[in-house]
Amino acid sequence: MAVLLLGLCLGLLLVALAIWALSGRVRTFSLGLLATLGLVTLLGLPAAQLSGHLPPQTGFVWGTLNDTALELRFASDSLPTFFSSIWLLCAIIISGGLASTFGRTTRAFGLVFAGLLILVLGGLLTIFSATPIGVWLGLGTTWMGGTIMQQTTTAHNREATLSGLPILVLALAVLVYAATPTLAGAQVLGGPWLAGCALLIGLAPRWGTTTTAPLLVRAPTTALGLPLLSGYLFVRYATETAPTWSQQTTAAVLLVGVSGLLLGAVNAVAARRLMEAFSGQLVAQLALLAVTFGTGQPAAGPIAIGLLAHTAVTSTSIALAAGQLERVTRDDRFATLPPLPQPLRRAGIAYGLAAMSCAGLPPLLGYALRRVVLLLAPAQPWLPPVLLAGSTLLALSYLPTLVAFFRRPAFRSPLAAVEQRGGGWPLLLMTGLLLGGLVPDNIWQWILGDPSVTGPQAPPLAAIISTAVTTLIVLLAFGLVNRALRHPRPGVQFGGGEPLDEEPGWTLPFVALRAMLWPLVVPEPGPLHALWQWLARQRERFSAPWHLLERRYYLALVVVSLITVLLLAAQ
């Protein structure tokens, strides 16, 4: 298995290097197809495990460091196999979507796909590694791939610098490795690990920065990159160790999860940019993992796995759809997102479906998952209302973006048209969520792998449909009330410029809600605000030395790193 995984990884690396070398000579579209083909080939890995051709665990000693053996061990049990399948599927969709958006004649953008392959390589190492050194190597490689993608797609060289976020991730990984020889033994680091993940995936000020890199390119680095892998590592760690947790640890995990959910949702509602909202939503989604384990129930493991896969699929869809919106409007601020000459229907529908699933609305998979999380908490009667409140806030946070997909200008341009290309990719993913929502029991069986093990009790189909109808009626009523309260917007006439920024297009209740919630996110002054400021200062401090790695110099770093990895592997 180790040979197979290493062979596939080295093959992927060679494909990435070939794509890099051919970038200027071969059309980007062809290179994108080659990368997608390479990713499809990788699906053979989970397929081999499912067909029983792989041992559950294997490894080898990679080298020694300070007389300590560095062992690379890989696990191919049901969790990494299942998650890697979903993760690879999302990566394939992103790769195909990216290839199609560059057109047939463009050249010299092959490095985007080389970066994507390196990111996938790092992700696979992280997913399958059973030792911290492998996880560390994987996270570093993932960061490197994401950085290459971002460097290649920033419009101005002043933006092509590295962020402090990966540095913090690596520091955390080193900390874990230094403190514990195995993942399972990292109990003492459970709390800091959770807090670190919460900070890294959304609360770090990285999300507040602007960049001209299209969101479509940022999708793999955010939706599939380090945040999701952090969530996966947490699930793996918690699945192994949760039965041994003390009551205090379980309560602390639950508290962190609930806080993360509420903070993420509030942050998303109060966000003023697409990316800020996306990061808040991702924090809330990943916090549900901690909530699940915080209930202390035995069924928490499978549910968390389902939630993780659900987060991967919805984040990818949202990033792809929102990327198209950002690309068409050339803006990512809610206040200034211009109306579209034509609605982005396919992307908007995909975004809406993903948002519904994330908010836990039927008949999508998110509803079934949210329902079983609620059923898990009989000992915490306060939990269901809090979860419902968090889910409602989360649902509200998706509205501004969703409206932007369909908002039309008051003045209809006679010739303006919007390219709809690429909108179908996220819809493809949504089909899976819809199917998963309609037949959740089959999904549980697939996750568990063993038909004899009983999964969590999913709601019956009749309940799903009746709840869906009720929700639809409530949403329609809410929409009618909103319409009645909507601001009378002045027409686009020439009365001295555009109207004053009143968060145009949003309804009064939404503006009021944002105004009420914003002080909770950034109190002036307050501990959270102070933390934010501190993180911003750290980011500046860390990112300054990385200015040296701008442009071609970072490529030198990549080459040196790859040579080092290959030499160590050969050793």
Partner 1 sequence: MSYLLPLGPFHPALRSPQRIVLRADGDIIQDIEHRDGYSTRNIADRIRRFDLARSYTLINRICGVHSHHHALAWTMALEALAGLSVPPRAQVLRTVAAELERAASHLQTTAVVFDLLGLGQVQRQLFALREWVLAAMQHLTGHRLVVDFARPGGIQVDLTDEERAAMLRLVRKPAAMLYRLIDRTITRRAFTRRVVGVGTLLQPAAETLGVSGPVGRASGIKRDLRTDAPYASYAEVKVAQVTQTGGDTYARIMLLLLETFDSLQLVQRLLEQLPAGAWQGQVVEALPPGTSSVTVEAPAGPIRHTLVSDGTRLTTLQLEALGAPHRLVLRALLAGQLVENAAVIVASVGACMTCAED
Q: How many chain residues touch partner 1 (CB under 8 A)? A: 50
The continuous run of DSSP H or E covering 87 comes out as: helix 78-101
> According to CB under 8 A, which residues from 496 to 535 bind partner 1?
496-501
CB-nearer residue toward partner 1: 36 or 292: 36
Q: HSE, CB side, 13 Å, CA atoms: give it for residue 288.
A: 33
494: contact with partner 1 by CB under 8 A: yes
Q: Terminus-to-terminus CA distance in the chain, angstroms?
A: 18
Query: Cα 230 from chain centroid?
Result: 10
Stretch in the footprint of partner 1 (CB under 8 A) among 17-25, 34-42, 345-353, 513-521: 17-25
CA 271/CA 77 separation, integer angstroms: 39
Tokens encoding 289: 């993992």
Q: HSE, CB side, 13 Å, CA atoms: give it for residue 69.
A: 7
CA 315/CA 473 separation, integer angstroms: 27
Q: How far is the CB of 551 from partner 1 (least distance, A)?
A: 6
Q: How far is the CB of 166 from partner 1 (least distance, A)?
A: 23
Q: Which of 64, 411, 462, 567 binds partner 1 (CB under 8 A)?
A: 411
343: contact with partner 1 by CB under 8 A: no
Taking Cα atoms as reference points, which of 143, 148, 132, 231 lies closest to residue 182? Answer: 132
CB-nearer residue toward partner 1: 96 or 138: 96
The contacts of residue 212 (CB under 8 Å, 6+ apart) are 154, 155, 156, 159
248: contact with partner 1 by CB under 8 A: no
CB-nearer residue toward partner 1: 100 or 180: 100
Query: Cα 533 from chain centroid?
Result: 24
Stretch in the footprint of partner 1 (CB under 8 A) among 72-80, 164-172, 406-414, 511-519: 406-414
Q: Which of 37, 47, 155, 515 binds partner 1 (CB under 8 A)?
A: 155
Binding mask 104-123 for partner 1 (x = CB under 8 A): xxxxxx--------------
The continuous run of DSSP H or E covering 68 comes out as: strand 68-75
408: contact with partner 1 by CB under 8 A: no
Stretch in the footprint of partner 1 (CB under 8 A) among 95-103, 353-361, 441-449, 521-529: 95-103
Q: Which of 495, 524, 527, 570 binds partner 1 (CB under 8 A)?
A: 495
CB neighbour class for 453 (10 Å; exposed up to 12, middle 13-18, buried from 19):
exposed
The contacts of residue 547 (CB under 8 Å, 6+ apart) are 161
- The type of residue at 313 is V
Q: Which of 462, 525, 552, 571 binds partner 1 (CB under 8 A)?
A: 552
Instruction: Using CB under 8 A, list all residues that contact partner 1.
Output: 23-25, 100-109, 153, 155-158, 212, 214, 216, 327-328, 330, 335-336, 338-339, 341, 409, 411, 413-417, 419, 421, 492-501, 551-552
